[in-house]
Amino acid sequence: MTKHSTIIGGSTADRLLNCPGSFQQLQLMPEQIEVPSEYANYGSAMHAVMDKLAVLYAGGFSAPKEMVRQTASELLGETFYDRVLEQHHLTDSIFPAIDTLYELMSEYGGGFTVVANELRVKFPGVPGAFGTSDLLISNKKFVVLIDWKFGQGIPVKAVYREPEGDRVNPQILYYFAGAMAELPKVFEKKRYAVAIIQPRTEEKLTHTIITRAEVEYFIEDVERAIMLALGKNPPLQVGDHCRWCPARPHCPEHTKPLFALSDLGLTAPALQASVSDDGSYGEFLSKAKYLADLVAPYVKQVNEQVHTYLENGGTVPGWRLKQKQKLRQWVDEQEVSNTLYQLGFQKDEIWQTKLQTFAVAEKAAKRLKVKIPEHLRVAPPSDETVVVPSDDPSPVIDRAEATKEFAAALKQLRHEQ
């Protein structure tokens, strides 16, 4: 059984800091072959484009923005990572990334040159802890480390504004600490900033100034987390950092809700129990809802792990793989259209037209720099309800009162009859 060799990396720093016990949980798992997703492959390809743009000029991104955009256009048709660069790649990712980078450089005074691109760094004091910083730039006053993110699902920020204070993204601090150790002279007599550019999300740029003291504190926090992770019974902590943790299916903190659910036992149906006024069934549902919400992502993670393990040649008793069946689709549209016409189909039985989705229209509006009038989009009235936490800011719906009013009206109606 092959064990994981590295205790921390850029993408796992947040997890180890918040849950030192995750490292030992990962050691219980067999080594699995990682199959890159389409999203990861897309990101790697767009990274490769930006890497090439960073070194095409003597001063990297010190050239005028329009010149860099033009050079990007000239790369059309070239292969980057696993795909040929096409116009939609430029429109969706590369041009917005370039524009956002120049916006960032302007905010910190301009006059930047590329110090390092795709710099492999070693985290200070931790054997085997490596990483790669995407882009390091410098001017007379600042050294700025930029991390490219080309996903469009979950926004990733350089700094998270939280009630207890700002929290800098541990991943980018990890790369920054490594870069400082790798190129110490670059950071002398300069101020520091970190930024994440994610061009396919609404908030394309997040950035913040950091201090040498913050970086040193971060290094100390990592050292402390590693000591805990290698010790006896390291603490486990559930949180957002669990999202991509492979050990989640067998982590005690995530399996506890399953045992708690079994302890709840069977109860009366909700409709029958709602007749009672003692509130006990409501207490039960509160506990069950809390546990169910914890279990739902756990179930998803288990299913993903089962699939990955079977794909890699493992055996899961009682389960196997089968070929996924996809929905049938038409062949060439013109051929289908001509054939259906010959069979006697009417035009409206072959073609349909409808308005684009809100998302597509919003994208076009941003490109045209216009705003879609709000009166064009309305939400239809609804008498349906959904369950939300008690602290949700939406208006309160008192179904119990509504039920009483309905019963009173029904009683009155029967009396009048």
User: Which residues face 168 on adjacent strands?
Assistant: 159
What residues contact residue 90 under an 8 Å CB cut-off, 6+ apart?
A: 72, 73, 76
Name the residue with tokens 């016990």: 21
- The model's confidence at residue 342, banded by pLDDT at 50, 70 and 90, is very high
- Residue 330: what residue type? W
Beta sheet of 130-138, edge-to-edge order: 113-122, 130-138, 142-148, 191-197, 205-210
Per DSSP bridges, beta strands 142-148 and 191-197 are parallel
Mean pLDDT to the nearest integer, 60-64: 81
pLDDT at position 244, please? 79
pLDDT at position 320, please? 83
pLDDT at position 57, please? 62
Q: What is d(CA 137, CA 359) in angstroms, rounded to the nearest whole number?
A: 35
Report pLDDT digits (tens) over 281-315. 677 677 777 777 777 777 777 787 787 777 777 88
Mean pLDDT to the nearest integer, 239-261: 75
Greater pLDDT, 251 or 42: 42
